Amino acid sequence: MDGRGFLCGSLSIPSPSNSSFSHESLSRSLYFLNSQVHLPKRLSQFQPLPVLRLRCGNAQEMVTPEPSVSTPISDYHHIDQKLLQNMVYDALVWSSLHGLLIGDKSVEGSGRVPGVGLVHAPFALLPTSFPESYWRQACDLAPIFNELVDRVSLDGKFLQDALSRTKKADEFTSRLLDIHSKMLELNKKEEIRLGLHRSDYMLDEQNKSLLQIEMNTVSSSFAGLGSIVTELHRNIISHHGKLLGLDPGRIPVNTGASEFAETLAKAWCEYNNPRAVIMFVIQAEERNMYDQHWLSVVLRERHHITTIRKTLAEIDQEGELLPDGTLSLDGQPIAVIYFRAGYTPVDYPSESEWRARLMMEQSSAVKCPSISYHLVGTKKVQQELAKANVLERFLENKDDIAKLRECFAGLWSLDDSDIVRKAIESPELFVMKPQREGGGNNIYGDAVRESLLKLQQAGCEENAAYILMQRIFPANSTTYITRNGYCQKDQTISELGIFGAYLRNKDKVIVNGQSGYLMRTKVSSSDEGGVAAGFAVLDSVYLM
């Protein structure tokens, strides 16, 4: 789930764990839209080489240049500069008029009040090539993962056992497990179970395989803006693609926003109280609010369902658990709780937030996710599921099991002394992942060795706060990264997130499928692996 908050991370100073991220690499080919544009400090450190000034607002399509019909999508190296300027300008205009927006950190209030301090979301100017066979493989996995999450969530003992050692090393997981235990004690059953997941993959260049990075079961973001950036790419290629030899039809339609909203609406229907509303649990400061608003707007316009937005603290203050189990906020019954907060310790600064979480879990509202679904998405459970013969405990279909296993990267507990020794010897082949959620916490390169040696001294309890994962080496491609009104060309790697929606009521599976996608692309650098760590931009898929 480390990618969830990448937009926040992307516009802030890199955290210590990824401070080795090289900004110099970004400046190799920097194209100026306008040298007068105000830049955040970090960006202005770039020393642009080939400076190209966009003439005042040129929104012109190219008419004269010869089309280079055979240009493959992966070879953007020599796009005509005038065409490039026009595409960037058109893309910036399109983004502004079509809500591809985030809050601008430099403007106060932009994370709280809609309509102020807006800036286009960072995006790749053109979609990134992705082989169709791997695309289909990733899409096919969605319903299997959805089903797996549901099955595992029902096995309370498995979850408690798998996380028993993490519990001692990680306070946050421990608190989640406490709530989970309470629900087990109460024998609380979630009859209506709703999952809005995002499974993230990379294509490993060495092994020629699609490997799962992680499974997000809570607050899977960018179903909203992911749909919009796909529309942007289809629009840009519709108008300029001929000159680049690109076909908009090769960008898969992305219905993430409408399908997530529809699944939320169906969950609301199952709850069956027409007076009830859907509650988005949000952070008090949320610069990615427009991604969320896209879901609310579809819920309102298409499904005529009201959404309210509350922080955990507000839920603690205003919420009430009625005798029949109904969660009521300010007198209003809640049908569905959709978490866009609560996945990181930062969201629980006091006991108030934990009280709210417990109250919600105790209620009859449909939770997206329930505490069980949340725990299934932890890295430790991901690692446990990758062990031999574990999937077989939850799934019957041999084909499904084989398909899942095929996408599992190497995953190990730090109890495995052989692997730890190998990782100390060759840290570049591993990623060390803490249980801690939120972007930018993964450990790469020499820091893996240092961390492992430190843990060896500290004793084994701390080990349980981490897992080791095989380092994936995706292919590089060239991307025109566009942010803050600037466009810069660089070598990048990409991560494909496949959204999955799942809804069941008792024995009836109501929704189980793939629900759109999100490509994220970042500048590649030798000492980092995950797209989520460091700066990434919204992107989409160009099938090849």
Is 189 a catalytic site residue?
A: no
401 is in an annotated binding site: no
Q: Does 57 belong to an annotated binding site? A: no
Residue from 149, 267, 269, 277 touching its own copies (CB under 8 A): that is 277
3-class DSSP state of 78: coil
Residue 436 assigned to a binding site: yes
Based on the shown chain and the rule CB under 8 A, indicate whether residue 297 belongs to the binding site for its own copies: yes
Q: Locate the DSSP E strands across 147-191.
A: none
325 binds its own copies (CB under 8 A): no
Q: Which of 24, 61, 161, 527 binds its own copies (CB under 8 A)?
A: 61
Q: Which of 4, 105, 167, 198 is catalytic?
A: 198
Backbone conformation region of residue 115, classed left if phi is above 0, alpha if psi is from -120 to 50, else beta: left
The yes or no reply on residue 47 touching its own copies (CB under 8 A) is: no
301 tagged catalytic: no
Q: Is 303 in the site for its own copies (CB under 8 A)?
A: no
Q: Which of 313, 294, 314 is nearest to 302 (CA)?
A: 294
Of 117, 364, 520, 530, which is the active-site residue?
A: 520
As a whole number of angstroms, the distance between CA 126 and CA 542 comes to 9
For residues 289 and 229, what is the distance between their CA atoms, to the nearest angstrom? 16
Residue that is written with structure tokens 């024995």 in the block: 507
Minimum distance from residue 30 beta carbon to its own copies (Å): 15
- What b/e sequence results for 481-492 when a residue is b if at least 16 CB atoms lie within 10 Å of its CB, and e otherwise? bbbbbbbbbbeb
Question: Interaction with its own copies in 474-533: which residues (CB under 8 A)?
Answer: 484-485
> Cα–Cα distances in Å, from 506 out to 146, 296, 315, 452, 503?
15, 27, 28, 45, 10
Instruction: Report the distance separating Cα 222 and Cα 338, nearest Å.
Output: 14
Instruction: Give which of 382, 328, 362 is closest to 212, Cα–Cα.
Output: 382
Task: Single out the catalytic residue among 377, 437, 494, 512.
Answer: 437
Does the footprint of its own copies cover residue 458 (CB under 8 A)?
Answer: no
**Sign for the pseudo-dihedral over CA of 298, 303, 304, 309:** negative
Written as six digits, the tokens of 68 are 């280079």
Per CB under 8 A, 346 contacts its own copies = no
| Nearer to its own copies (CB atom), residue 108 or residue 446 | 108
Least spacing, CB of residue 109 vs its own copies, in Å: 4
- Does the annotation list 221 as a binding residue? yes
**DSSP 3-state assignment of 62?**
coil
- In this structure, what DSSP letter does residue 408 have? B
Encoding tokens for residue 244? 């680049």
Single-letter residue type at 219: S
273 near its own copies, judged by CB under 8 A:
no
Is 208 one of the annotated active-site residues of the chain? no
Catalytic residue status for 108:
no
Sole binder of its own copies in the list 309, 355, 403, 422 (CB under 8 A): 309
Residues from 114 through 133 that contact its own copies (CB under 8 A): 114-120
Q: Which residues pair with 320 in a beta bridge?
A: 328
CA distance 484 to 120: 7
- Judge whether 193 is annotated as a binding position: no
Between CA 479 and CA 76 the distance in angstroms is 7
437 marked as binding residue: yes
Q: Site for its own copies (CB under 8 A): which residue of 47, 51, 63, 206?
A: 63
Catalytic-role residue among 4, 357, 379, 489:
379
Based on the shown chain and the rule CB under 8 A, indicate whether residue 227 belongs to the binding site for its own copies.
no
Indicate if the alpha-carbon torsion angle 119, 125, 129, 132 is positive or negative.
positive
- Ligand-binding annotation for 287, yes or no, is yes
Q: Give the number of residues written for the chain.
A: 544
Query: Does the footprint of its own copies cover residue 113 (CB under 8 A)?
Result: yes
State how far the Cα of 304 lies from the Cα of 57, in Å rounded to an integer: 40
Q: State the Cα–Cα distance between residues 241 and 237, nearest whole angstrom.
A: 4
State which of residues 222, 290, 466, 517 lies at the interface with its own copies (CB under 8 A): 290
216 included as an active-site residue: yes
DSSP class of 13? P
Residue 58 annotated in ligand binding: no
Q: Does 109 bind its own copies (CB under 8 A)?
A: yes
Has 433 been annotated as catalytic? yes
Shortest Cβ distance from residue 366 to its own copies (Å)? 18
Active-site residue 379, yes or no? yes
Site residue total, its own copies (CB under 8 A): 63
Closest CB 478 distance from its own copies, rounded Å? 22
240 binds its own copies, rule: CB under 8 A: no
Residue 285, both tokens:
């400061």
**Which part of the chain contacts its own copies (CB under 8 A), choosing from 85-93, 245-253, 356-364, 463-471?**
85-93
Contacts with its own copies, 12-41, as mask; x by CB under 8 A: ---------------------xx-xxx---
- Cβ(176)–Cβ(371) under 8 Å? yes
Work out the angle at residue 82's Cα, subtended by the Cα atoms of residues 80 and 88, and round it to the nearest 5 degrees.
100
Could you say whether residue 112 binds its own copies (CB under 8 A)? yes
Instruction: Give residue 143's identity as a one-letter amino acid code.
Output: P
Cis peptide before 369 (omega within 30 of 0): yes
Q: Is residue 47 marked as binding? A: no
Known binding-site residue numbers: 198, 214, 216, 218-221, 286-288, 292, 340-343, 379, 433-442, 444, 469-472, 495, 520, 522, 528, 531-532
Known binding-site residue numbers for ATP: 214, 379, 433-442, 444, 469-472, 495, 522, 528
Q: Contact residues for its own copies (CB under 8 A)?
A: 33-34, 36-38, 54-61, 63-64, 89, 92-99, 101, 104, 106-109, 112-120, 239, 275, 277, 282, 284, 286, 289-290, 293-294, 296-297, 300, 306-311, 314, 331-332, 484-485
| Residues noted as catalytic | 198, 214, 216, 221, 379, 433, 437-438, 520
